Amino acid sequence: MTEQPFTMPEFPNSDPQFPPIPDIPPVQEIPGTPQDQPVPEIPRIPDDAQNPPPAAPPERPERTVTVCPVPHTMDDFSPDTIRILSLPHISQFEAESCRHKKEKPWYRRLIFLNIFLIIMTVTLVISGYDEYQKQMTDFTAEVIADYLAQSAESEDTDAEDSEDEDTADDTQEDDEKEEPDYEEFAEKIPLGYKMLGYGIALMLIGYLSLYYLNADVRSKSVKVTERNFPEVHALIHSFSDRLGMKAPEAYIVSENGILNAFSAFLFKRQYIQINSEVFEVAYREHRDMNALAFIIAHEVSHIYFGHSTLHYNAWIWFSQQLPLVSQIASRTREYSCDRLAQRLTNYDGIGSMLMLVMDRHLYYMVDVQDYLDHAAQEGGFFLWLVNLFSTHPVMTKRIRALADWNGSGELY
Ligand SMILES: [Zn+2]
């Protein structure tokens, strides 16, 4: 075999390391691309001196006073309102005669119970002083011992990191045994001290919650003024003037369909909340000003009789928490205020009560005489029981009492 001499294969160009670069195809113009158009100039922010003064804001449209037309002058008030506003002054004797005959006796019983609760607590506190001291000393010693044991153990753990698991478990069990038992301690505390604690908490929480409730009402309401629902404003002032008292503030709150109103108090002032749903009967449904006026008069009556004052409630602060007796006393107050509201409005108030029973749309269709006839036949143990645990008299009794115009309603 003869050796063939190696010859380099021929490359297209002279330099084998750099093959010729293939021709780059010309850039294709993408249709729609502004190739040759000039770049738009970015607008320059002018200097302060050249800045034109800001344009005047557009004029606001004039605010309308009301969305739904509510009477704003005496001429526009409903005939019912004008009738109620022209009713005469009520003497103190006449107003007092509206009180339920059992209201004052039950208030006195609540005061007695309240004082009894306070005296009992103080007596128990005094008599259980030694026991309380012993329990406190024992428990404090237990807490200190537990604290010392824990700190000693943490020091040990820092020193000996490599302890086996069994020993760790044992130590944990020991810890659990040594830990102060708070539940056991609470059980051992004498009754008087527990009652004292509950009493102080009840007073503080109760009093502060009055302010919380008021703030809540103010935050989501429309205040009744001479310009907002002036007809209602006039009624509240008329009721207050006729009773010789300062007119309370009133707030309208929407409560998602709940027909209700209440009067409440702060340190020295009272206010009324009326749910907007009750207003609808006067301004949207039946133009029934009587039904609304009666409910407002009932709340003003609570304030007149002092039910919504701090001193009235302070005397019965603790006994009011007792079941049954507080409900009975509350029912007497409701009857009293219904009766005074009748005097203030010269209206029986049955429509207002039926509105609470039937809601604001249909109460107008109830045959009152038929309702009263049936209500008179209602009775039985369980109805008695329902009434017994109610803060307000059951409607069958309450409406019958209203239909009487006189006397005190059935408590039981
Ligand atoms: Zn009431």
- pLDDT tens string 243-252: 999 999 999 9
The verdict on 138 and 245 lying in the same domain is: no
- 260 CA distance to ligand 1 middle (Å): 10
Is residue 321 a contact partner of residue 260, using CB atoms and an 8 Å limit?
A: no
What is the per-residue pLDDT across 125-139, written as a single tens digit (0 to 9) for each?
888 778 777 878 887
Q: Determine the pLDDT at residue 25.
A: 74
The answer on 343 and 296 residing in a single domain is yes
Residue 63 Cα to ligand 1 middle (Å): 37
Q: How many folded domains does the chain comprise?
A: 2
Cα separation of 223 and 252, whole Å?
Answer: 6
How close is the Cα of 262 to the center of ligand 1, in Å? Answer: 7
Range(s) of the domain holding residue 177: 129-153+170-188
Within-domain flag for 10: no
CA of 149 to the centre of ligand 1 (A): 60
Contacts of 37 (CB under 8 A, 6+ apart): none
Alpha carbon of 42 to ligand 1 centroid (Å): 73
Q: pLDDT digit string (tens) for 252-311?
A: 998 887 888 888 888 888 899 999 888 888 888 778 889 999 999 999 999 999 998 888
Taking the C-alpha atoms of residue 257 and residue 279, their distance in angstroms, rounded to an integer, is 11
Residues forming a β-bridge with 273: 251, 262
13 has a pLDDT exceeding 60:
no
> Both 253 and 324 in a single domain?
yes
Statement to judge: residues 179 and 265 lie in one domain: no
Compute, in angstroms, the gap from residue 337 CA to the centroid of ligand 1: 6
Mean pLDDT of 203-223: 89
137 and 106, same structural domain? no
Residue 114 pLDDT class (50, 70, 90 cuts): very high
Ligand 1 centre from 305 Cα, in Å? 11
User: 80 C-alpha to center of ligand 1: Å?
Assistant: 22
**Same domain, yes or no: 218 and 84:** yes
Distance 408 CA to ligand 1 centre (A): 15
Whether 218 and 104 share a structural domain: yes
> Does residue 67 sit within a domain?
no
User: Looking at the domain assignment, is residue 398 inside a domain?
Assistant: yes
Shared-domain flag, residues 237 and 181: no
- Percentage of the chain surpassing pLDDT 90? 33
Q: What is the mean pLDDT of the chain?
A: 82
Q: What was the pLDDT predicted at 299?
A: 93
192 pLDDT above the threshold of 60:
yes
Task: Based on the fold, state whether residues 181 and 328 are members of the same structural domain.
Answer: no
Residue 266 Cα to ligand 1 middle (Å): 17
Q: What is the pTM of this model?
A: 0.74
Asked whether residue 361 falls in the same domain as residue 248, the answer is yes
CA distance 406 to 255: 33
**Distance (Å) from CA 140 to ligand 1 centroid:** 50
What lies within 8 Å, CB to CB, of 101 at 6+ separation is 408
Is residue 236 a part of any domain in this protein?
Answer: yes
Report how far ligand 1's centroid is from the alpha carbon of 331 (Å).
9
Per-residue confidence (pLDDT) for residue 140, from 0 to 100? 83
pLDDT at 161 over 70: no
Separation of 214 CA from ligand 1 center, angstroms? 18
Cα dist from 76 to 63, 73, 230, 233, 276, whole Å: 21, 5, 11, 14, 21
User: Are 245 and 387 members of one domain?
Assistant: yes
Strands of 270-275's sheet, edge to edge?
A: 221-223, 249-253, 270-275, 261-265
For 158, the token pair is: 């820092």
